[in-house]
Copies of this chain bind each other. A is one copy, B any other.
Amino acid sequence: MSTSPKAIPEPTVRRLTLYLRHLEQLTGKGMHKISSRQLGEDLHLGPAQVRRDLATFGQFGQPGMGYKVASLVEQLRKVLGVNRVWKVVLVGAGQLGQALLRYEAFDRQGFHFVAAFDTDPFKIGKKVGAVRIVHLDTLEEVIRAECVQLAILAVPAAVVPQVVEKLTKAGIHGILNFAPTSIEPIPGVVVDHVDVTAHLEQLSFRVIRMLEETDQT
């Protein structure tokens, strides 16, 4: 009976990210306004889809003119919550973990690594990118001291449950899981999953279908 919950559909949220990235590139090119038709064309979406998505959280377009790129970028950042800095920890400093630590685009988008954890004595103390690898046992301490909100998990599937428990205890708010295993839902923690093998399997499925359709004799 107070603030309306708004209910933004999940597919819309996924596309907001795409709009934001594309619009950021456009500002770099000095483009000041854009229409839903053009934006849709660039991202291979229908113009109605674009307008519906953007209208979900307010009215930004100017009828007859289109959207002002700069203000749209600002609004999208606000909606997605990237108009501020998120503190992030990495758990699991293997090959993938280290590649993520070195990926500079995260910082530019407001996701700032404050620490990396591992249990391998050979890795501890090593500096990767801008952060030092420390022992997993210090996880709770660091997360509380630094008020870290997000964690990226790049550990073997087998240890995911234990690490998740530690993170939950430490009061983390969100987890992005790269391990090929599903995480039990936890109240108060948002979980998302990046599953590269799943994407390859999707690709496999779609390639087969495509070839079958093409090959109709």
Interface residues of A (CB under 8 A from B): 2-3, 5, 13-14, 16-18, 20-22, 42-44, 79-82, 86, 88, 94-96, 98-100, 102-103, 105-106, 109, 111, 149-150, 173-176, 180-182, 184-185, 188, 190, 192, 194-208, 210-214, 216
A43 to B195, CA, bound (A): 15
A interface majority secondary structure: helix
Interface pair A105/B205, CB less than 8 Å apart: no
Given A81-B207, A188-B210: A200 and B173 within 8 A (CB)?
Answer: no
User: What B residues does A213 contact at CB under 8 A?
Assistant: 5
Interface pair B111/A200, CB less than 8 Å apart: yes
Partner of A80, one of B14, B94, B205: B205
Given A99-B95, A194-B196: A44 and B182 within 8 A (CB)?
Answer: yes
Interface pair A95/B86, CB less than 8 Å apart: no
The copy count of this chain in the complex is 2
User: What B residues does A203 contact at CB under 8 A?
Assistant: 150, 174-176, 190, 192
Interface pair A13/B202, CB less than 8 Å apart: yes
Partner of A109, one of B99, B192, B201: B201
Partner of A204, one of B2, B86, B184: B86
| Known pairs A18-B182, A21-B197, A81-B204 / 7 extra A-B pairs, C-beta < 8 Å | A5-B213, A13-B202, A98-B99, A103-B196, A109-B200, A111-B197, A192-B202
User: What B residues does A17 contact at CB under 8 A?
Assistant: 195, 197-198, 201-202
Interchain nearest-CB distance for A73 vs B (Å): 13
Interface pair B199/A106, CB less than 8 Å apart: no
